[in-house]
Amino acid sequence: MHVDKKVAVALWAIGFVALFIAGTVRVPLLVAVFGYGCVLTGSLKWALRAWRDKNARHLRVPNC
């Protein structure tokens, strides 16, 4: 499960760097779209992992 968190953080970092570059250097719109895509994908992965973990807690059967 920690891999999902690392992937999400990496996507956020890549996305924010791309957005910073796009805003600073005035490079083509493609870099900004790529940055937004990375940030959104990272956010979705993070939210999906949290939702899955929350639901998994309710479905766990205690070991007797």
Taking the domains of the chain in order of start, what are their residue ranges? 2-51
Token pair 């499960």: residue:
1
State residue 25's pLDDT score.
Answer: 65
State residue 58's pLDDT score.
Answer: 57
- Taking the model in full, what pTM does it have? 0.40
DSSP string, 2-57: HHHHHHHHHHHHHHHHHHHHHHHH---HHHHHHHHHHHHHHHHHHHHHHHHHHHHH
Average pLDDT per consecutive 10 residues, the chain (64 residues; last block may be shorter):
70 79 68 75 77 67 55
